[in-house]
């Protein structure tokens, strides 16, 4: 039985669901320095490695969208003001590797890029924007409020920009007008993209200008369930768990530390890393890794910290709903647990993927949790 309590996400009823598939963008962010990304500092949690998920959304009508693209393969051609070399040279990030653009992955899998109606950027950061120029001009770019004003013109027209002209040129750029909607889902302003309740684009501000998440209806019988694509509203499971709705249980199965506890792990093993000893407060807080670097606010690692904290709280509430599967862009604990494209994630609930993946992130903190019990 799930240890999550069911919340009301006030999603309007619908009898239409979309197919959702998870695509490994082949991006490897290897050895990111945790002290630059999160607080508090946790013993043994020094470096973090992950990829980025892209999500393919397929409407019953045949219309297709992509949510995020990871990083472009030729990342060396990103704007120089991104200063990726600084991060690599100074040990903030040990290695950056990309094998394929998402467009290549789709074509290799037999998908014509003409079928892709639009690419949704969760936000403008380089590990999400990919290379939109590899898609035909008929593929529109869908972005959050403020993107056009803050990031166009881009590089090289603006030599100080951190986005590329080539991602915007020659295509329709749709800036989602969340201000005109009265609908809110989970406390987030919602735009019904297909107009039938199957897929909502959500305004999830704070981390970056125009940050968007999305909620896809993946089943309608016997009741609806959903996938919340939350982008970088949270980067790591420790930013949203535990929470009031998903408290750390007395026993965790499957064990997140099978080398220590083979099948079921006692919750008290992780008490040393809990904030104020609370089983209902998330463990980590994201912090602005660009602080003190003289970066413009619109280009900062965190755009609006108080607003981000509100978005994190709303993300926690959605995550606590037993009918919602949370997919964070960099949640690599899902790797090997969820089916990847060309398979879909639509059977996530029947497969019990929420229970299988919810506490896997705790393995990152095992070295801070005291002595390993002796074998009997």
pLDDT, tens digit, for every residue of 150-201? Answer: 999 999 999 999 999 999 999 999 999 888 888 999 999 999 999 999 999 9
pLDDT higher than threshold 60 for residue 6 = no
247 and 347 Cβ atoms separated by less than 8 Å? no
* pLDDT > 90 in the chain, percent: 85
pLDDT, tens digit, for every residue of 345-375? Answer: 999 999 999 999 999 999 999 999 977 665 4
Neighbours of 192 (CB within 10 A): 16
pLDDT higher than threshold 60 for residue 4 = no
Predicted pLDDT at 72: 97
**85: phi then psi, degrees, rounded to nearest 5:** -60, -35
Q: Is the dihedral of CA 273, 278, 279, 285 positive or negative?
A: negative
CATH architecture of the domain with residue range 19-367: 4-Layer Sandwich (3.60)
Q: How close are the terminal C-alpha atoms of the chain, in Å?
A: 29
167 and 178 Cβ atoms separated by less than 8 Å? no
The mean per-residue pLDDT over the stretch 325-336 comes to 97
pLDDT band at 3 (very low <50, low <70, confident <90, very high): very low
Predicted pLDDT at 373: 63
The mean per-residue pLDDT over the stretch 28-55 comes to 95
C-alpha–C-alpha distance, residues 264 and 257, integer Å? 9
The mean per-residue pLDDT over the stretch 252-267 comes to 95
Distances in Å between the Cα of 220 and the Cα atoms of 68, 83, 215, 224, 332 are: 25, 46, 14, 4, 28
Residue spans per domain, the chain: 19-367
Burial 82-92 (b: 16+ CB within 10 A, else e): bbbeebeeeeb
Predicted pLDDT at 181: 86
Predicted pLDDT at 79: 95
Predicted pLDDT at 7: 45
pLDDT higher than threshold 90 for residue 83 = no
The mean per-residue pLDDT over the stretch 10-21 comes to 95
190 and 184 Cβ atoms separated by less than 8 Å? yes
């Amino acid at each position: 039985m799930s240890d999550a309590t069911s919340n009301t996400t006030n999603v309007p009823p619908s009898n239409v669901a979309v197919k959702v598939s998870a695509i490994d963008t082949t991006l490897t962010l290897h050895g990111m320095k945790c002290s630059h990304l999160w607080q508090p500092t946790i013993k043994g949690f020094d470096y973090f490695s992950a990829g980025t998920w892209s999500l393919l959304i397929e409407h019953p009508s045949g219309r297709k969208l992509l949510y995020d693209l990871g990083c472009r393969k030729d990342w060396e051609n990103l704007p120089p003001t991104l200063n990726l070399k600084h991060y690599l040279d100074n040990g903030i990030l040990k290695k950056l590797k990309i094998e394929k653009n998402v467009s290549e992955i789709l074509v290799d899998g037999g998908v014509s890029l003409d079928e892709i109606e639009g690419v949704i950027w969760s936000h403008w950061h380089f590990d999400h924007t990919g290379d939109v120029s590899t898609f035909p001009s008929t593929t529109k770019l869908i972005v959050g409020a403020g993107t056009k004003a803050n990031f166009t013109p881009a590089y090289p027209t603006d030599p100080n920009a951190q986005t590329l002209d080539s991602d915007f040129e020659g295509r329709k750029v749709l800036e989602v007008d969340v201000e005109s909607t009265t609908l809110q889902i989970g406390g987030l302003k919602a735009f019904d993209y297909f107009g039938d309740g199957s897929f909502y684009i959500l305004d999830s501000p704070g981390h970056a200008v125009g940050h968007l998440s999305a909620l896809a209806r993946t089943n309608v019988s016997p009741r609806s369930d959903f996938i919340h694509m939350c982008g970088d509203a949270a980067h790591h499971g420790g930013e949203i768990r535990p929470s009031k709705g998903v408290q750390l249980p007395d026993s965790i199965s499957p064990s997140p530390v099978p080398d220590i506890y083979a099948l079921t792990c006692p919750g008290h093993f992780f008490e040393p890393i809990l904030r104020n000893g609370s089983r209902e407060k998330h463990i980590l807080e994201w912090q602005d890794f660009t602080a003190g670097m003289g970066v413009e606010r619109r280009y900062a690692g965190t755009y609006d910290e108080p607003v981000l904290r509100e978005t994190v709280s709303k993300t926690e509430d959605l995550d606590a709903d037993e009918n919602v599967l949370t997919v964070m862009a960099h949640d690599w604990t899902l790797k090997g647990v969820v089916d990847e494209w060309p398979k879909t994630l639509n059977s996530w609930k029947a497969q019990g993927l929420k229970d299988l993946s919810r506490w896997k992130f705790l393995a990152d903190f095992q070295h801070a949790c005291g002595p390993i019990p002796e074998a009997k």
